[in-house]
Structure 1
Amino acid sequence: MNTVSIVASLTVACVVLLVLRNRQDKARKHAAAASEEGKAAGLPITATYRAKPLLSPWELKVFGPLRASLPAGWYLCPQVRAADIVSISAPSSGHQRAALGKLAPRSVDFVLIDEGAIPRLVIELDDSSHDRPERQQRDADIDRALHAAGVPVRRIRPGQEIEWEAIVALVADGTQSVQSAKPSRAFRAEA
């Protein structure tokens, strides 16, 4: 190798190192700024917070057709905490805390609400994770509480054909169970 080649190689290596160091410095400054913002907000200093998608790919695929089937004035609320759908009354504060404890850490996939913001239907997308015993217990707890509150739950499995308009119409007029809806112009609920 001649001297020019060696000098050129060293120059390129130095430029690459400087660029990498500059990126690391920017990342450190960004992390420090985020840490300061976190301290000011009372958040843990070592944590990094970033926005993430609210819906899984399957939930996002179902969201559009379901939203399009809603009557005027109705809304589709994704990822709602189960305890925010029902009001809990119990004979004692201990019983109320226990009932709330079963629902508070859990959310449902979708809640259809009417023009008065009253929950009219909960839709759960049950993939294979719902086959596990602990998940089945969680689902049963949610279903019992919602049933007691008069809010129907419709559980959808991957590949199941769904006629959203028929389901929403049955719930809207309140005369039939959402389980009796028959598919006509079906949407296939692929995960």
Structure 2
Amino acid sequence: METLLLSPITLALAAVFVLGCVIVLIWVFRGSGKPAVYLSVVDSLLTPAEKLFYEQLDLVIDGRLQILCKVRLADLIEVESRQPEERNRVFRRIASKHIDFILAEPGTLAPMLAIELDDSSHERADRRERDEYLEELFQTVRFPLLRIKASATYNRRALVDALEQALRRRFQPY
């Protein structure tokens, strides 16, 4: 009986069992290290500059229009083509871009005006290229795009005038 307990087969089975337990433990605890990617919810949807402008815009608009933030271009502009490859090419170009603010009719949320807040990042070459593309895109779809230079303060009268002028363009024939 003593020889059965210490036989090579018994020792091999015990070793396999212990090894199996070690593998299971490693597998169970392998995810407990530091993750490669961290996810968290942002403190605000808007940057400090965007939030400051939003607050001024909200005062000026005074509930007459709805302010929508960071609207994806693909949700604002429809892309249609008889050529699926061309449609997909254009859609991919606008799908990952957003416009800072959209003013929309309160009841229907029909878009009335796009607003892009230009901060210092718009001086970079890649941003200038993006801005030129936006200008061309909005001219193509005949939708007004108002560019506002980001600032620490905003003159309300100047903001009202710029908004009124841009909204008038919305309803002018081209």
Q: What TM-score, normalized by structure 1, do the two folds share?
A: 0.60
- Hey, what does 1:89 align to over in structure 2? 80
Matched, 1:130 2:112: no
Unaligned runs of 5+ in 2: 1-30
Cα distance change, pair 175–136 in 1 and its aligned pair in 2 (3 A): closer
Residue 125 of structure 1, CA deviation: 1.2
Preserved CA contact (<8 Å) 1:78 1:111: yes
User: Residues 125 and 174 of structure 1: is their aligned pair in 2 closer, same or farther, counting only changes over 3 Å?
Assistant: closer
2:41 aligned with 1:51: yes
The share of aligned pairs that are identical, in percent, is 22
62, 65, 68: which is aligned to 2:59?
Answer: 68
**RMSD of aligned Cα (Å):** 2.8
Q: Is the 8 A contact 1:112 1:120 kept in 2?
A: yes
- Offset at residue 113 of structure 1 (A): 0.8
Describe the SS at the equivalent of 2:103: strand
CA contact (8 A) 1:103 1:142 kept: no
In 2, Cα distance between equivalents of 1:77 and 1:133: 27
Which residue pairs with 1:3 in the alignment?
A: none
| CA apart distance, 1:86 | 0.9
Report the equivalent of 1:16. none
Are 1:158 and 2:140 matched, yes or no?
no
Which of structures 1 and 2 has the bigger CA Rg? 2
- Structure scoring higher RCO (CA < 8 A, sep ≥ 6) equals 2
Aligned residues: 136
Q: Distance in 2 between matches of 1:73 and 1:161?
A: 20
Point out where structure 1 has 5 or more consecutive residues left out of the alignment: 1-30, 33-44, 178-191
1:69 alignment partner, SS class: helix
SS in 2 for 1:87: coil
CA contact (8 A) 1:82 1:142 kept: no
**1:121 aligned to 96, 101, 113, which one?**
113
SS in structure 2 of the partner of residue 156 of structure 1: strand
Q: Which secondary structure does the structure 1 equivalent of 2:61 belong to?
A: coil
Q: What is the CA-CA distance between 1:168 and the residue it aligns to?
A: 3.2
Checking the alignment, whether the CA contact within 8 Å between 1:119 and 1:151 is kept in structure 2 is no
With normalisation by structure 2, the TM-score equals: 0.66
Residue number in structure 2 paired with 1:167: 162
Question: Deviation at 1:150?
Answer: 2.2
Counterpart AA for 1:97: N
